[in-house]
């Protein structure tokens, strides 16, 4: 069944128009059946793309993994010197984490299962620099073997020093520093409030930012709704121009335990406050310099231009892709880099790569909500493996975030504001008509 939505759009002086939106085929038309003009956003309907159907992975039909992964994610262990309230790794057992002694056997085993050079290798913690004695020999050896691979790492930045920055630069790393701006207190001590750590981060900025190899990565949540506030907080402390700060967002937090639930959007009031902030920051252009927001909006335009079928969409993090493989140093294959091999998320071992079975994942088409969700093409499912209450809350958080981005994309395309969605609700019990941006806000904005 093809589900469509009537999008009630508003402009100045009471102007109203209806758009018809069919997420399953990314069709966006005016009420009279004419396509929306994509030229104002630099797209046209002649664009083509060939995306085959995504594999509808589920525990009943698990996916495999390729012995020639394009992206190899290496989990060093889940230990961290911070105690972020919403960390998806906090509740994971850490018994099997790697240690320096595992590096040699990991490297020696690689040729037996890795059949081609990965395009990208990521090094994950916990806090990866808490594993310095493991990380260093591992990355140096991998750089020698795979000189063309891009290297990525995400760190809280608190354990960096000048020698490590030299090392990151020399090995060609791109680094994301996790930082939540004024909401940093929900993660741990703010390294930017510590003069020594602040100076080290400024050194990192001066060294890698001009090469486009560093960013600050922020997670939004109930107590951290404004990317503008995050940008200002970091830029002021680093004493750099706010407009030049490379900021990305990992979007809204997904809850993995009670801490994550506490910082989630627990009711409609939270959701509306969040959506309001994200929408207006995008429409005012403030967050369009945040690459992940800009890319998502331009990705939406491309999706419409190419009429990309939802059936071709995999999960947003891509861990349902056989060419993305997460492993630990003992060779265990994992659902994703955030999960421990001491749980059900051990999905096999590289020594028997053809037997790896991603049997912990649910493609969006197997979720009750996603097939009747107007923002599916933007959200692409909150998380692969969450279930029950955590899944419902992850879906709710993602819905408010993606609804804001959807409304912002429609604004940039039509210069009209989405005030109401009419059509099937993603979950029983939710209304079939929903106010998005309150028309009263338009008058205030005007």
Q: Do 368 and 427 contact (CB within 8 A), yes or no?
A: yes
Query: Which x/- pattern, by CB under 6 A, does the window 64-103 give for ligand SF4?
Result: ------------------------x---------------
Tell me, residue by residue from 314 to 333, as one string, x for binding to ligand SF4 by CB under 6 A and - for no binding: ---x-x--------------
Q: What is the DSSP string of 272-308?
A: HHHHHHHHHHHHTTGGGGSHHHHHHHHHHHHHHHTT-
Return d(Cα 383, Cα 406) in angstroms, integer.
19
Min separation Cβ 161 and ligand SF4, Å: 29
How many residues touch ligand SF4 under the rule CB under 6 A: the total is: 23
Site string for ligand SF4, 356-395 (x = CB under 6 A): --------x--x-xx--x-xx--x-xxxxx---------x
Q: How many residues does the chain have?
A: 446
Looking at residue 161, the DSSP 8-state letter turns out to be -
CB of 361 to ligand SF4, least distance (A): 7
Closest distance between ligand SF4 and the C-beta of residue 350, in Å? 19
CB of 158 to ligand SF4, least distance (A): 22
What are 128's two structure tokens?
């990866």
CB of 237 vs ligand SF4, minimal distance in Å: 28
Contact between residue 155 and residue 127 where contact means Cβ atoms under 8 Å apart: yes
- Helices and strands in the chain, H and E counts: 11, 14
Identity of the residue, 200 or 253, whose beta carbon is nearer to ligand SF4 in the bound complex: 253
d(CA 234, CA 238): 6
Residues 336-355 that bind ligand SF4 (CB under 6 A): 336, 338
- Asked if 79 and 126 touch (Cβ cutoff 8 Å), the reply is yes
Whichever of 346 and 426 has its CB closer to ligand SF4, that residue is 426
Looking at the Cβ atoms of 239 and 428, the one nearer to ligand SF4 is: 428
Residues between 268 and 307 that touch ligand SF4 (CB under 6 A): none
The beta-strand segments (E) located in 293-438 are: 324-328, 332-334, 346-349, 417-422, 433-435
| Site residues for ligand SF4 per CB under 6 A | 88, 317, 319, 336, 338, 364, 367, 369-370, 373, 375-376, 379, 381-385, 395, 398-399, 402, 426
């Amino acid at each position: 069944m093809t589900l469509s939505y009537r999008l009630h759009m508003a402009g100045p002086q009471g102007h109203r128009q209806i758009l018809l939106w069919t997420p399953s085929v990314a069709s966006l038309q005016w009420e009279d059946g004419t396509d929306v003009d994509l030229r104002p956003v630099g797209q046209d309907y002649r664009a083509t793309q060939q995306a085959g159907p995504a594999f509808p992975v589920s525990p009943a039909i698990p996916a495999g993994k390729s012995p020639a992964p394009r992206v190899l994610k290496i989990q060093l262990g889940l230990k961290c010197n911070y105690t972020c309230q919403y960390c998806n790794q906090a509740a994971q057992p850490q018994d099997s984490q790697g240690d320096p002694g595992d590096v040699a056997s990991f490297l020696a085993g690689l040729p037996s299962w890795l059949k081609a050079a990965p395009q990208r290798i990521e090094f994950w913690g916990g806090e990866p620099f808490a594993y310095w004695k493991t990380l260093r020999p591992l990355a140096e050896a991998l750089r020698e073997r795979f000189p063309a691979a891009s290297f990525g790492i995400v760190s809280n930045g608190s354990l960096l020093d000048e020698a490590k920055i030299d090392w990151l630069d020399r090995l060609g790393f791109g680094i994301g520093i996790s930082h939540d701006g004024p909401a940093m207190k929900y993660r741990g001590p703010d390294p930017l409030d510590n003069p020594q750590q602040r100076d080290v981060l400024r050194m990192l900025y001066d060294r890698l930012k001009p090469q486009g190899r560093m960013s600050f990565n922020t997670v939004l949540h109930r107590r951290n709704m404004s990317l503008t506030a995050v940008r200002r907080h970091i830029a002021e402390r680093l004493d750099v121009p706010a407009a030049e700060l490379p900021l990305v967002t990992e979007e809204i937090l997904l809850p993995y335990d009670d801490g994550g639930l506490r910082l989630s959007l627990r009711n409609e009031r939270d959701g509306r406050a969040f959506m309001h902030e994200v929408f207006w920051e995008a429409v005012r252009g403030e967050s369009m310099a945040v690459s992940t927001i800009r890319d998502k909006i331009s990705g939406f335009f491309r999706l419409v231009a190419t009429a990309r079928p939802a059936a071709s969409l995999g999960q947003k993090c891509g861990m349902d892709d056989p060419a993305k493989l997460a492993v630990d140093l003992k060779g265990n294959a994992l659902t994703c880099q955030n999960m421990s091999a001491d749980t059900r998320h051990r999905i096999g071992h590289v020594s028997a790569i053809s037997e790896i079975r991603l049997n912990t994942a649910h493609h969006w088409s197997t979720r009750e909500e996603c097939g009747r969700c107007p923002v599916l093409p933007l959200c692409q499912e909150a998380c692969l493996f969450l279930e029950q209450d955590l899944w419902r809350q992850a879906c709710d958080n993602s819905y408010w975030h993606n609804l804001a981005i959807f409304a912002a994309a429609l604004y940039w395309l039509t210069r009209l504001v989405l005030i109401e969605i009419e059509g099937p609700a993603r979950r029983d019990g939710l209304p079939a008509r929903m106010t998005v941006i309150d028309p009263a806000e338009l008058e205030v904005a005007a």
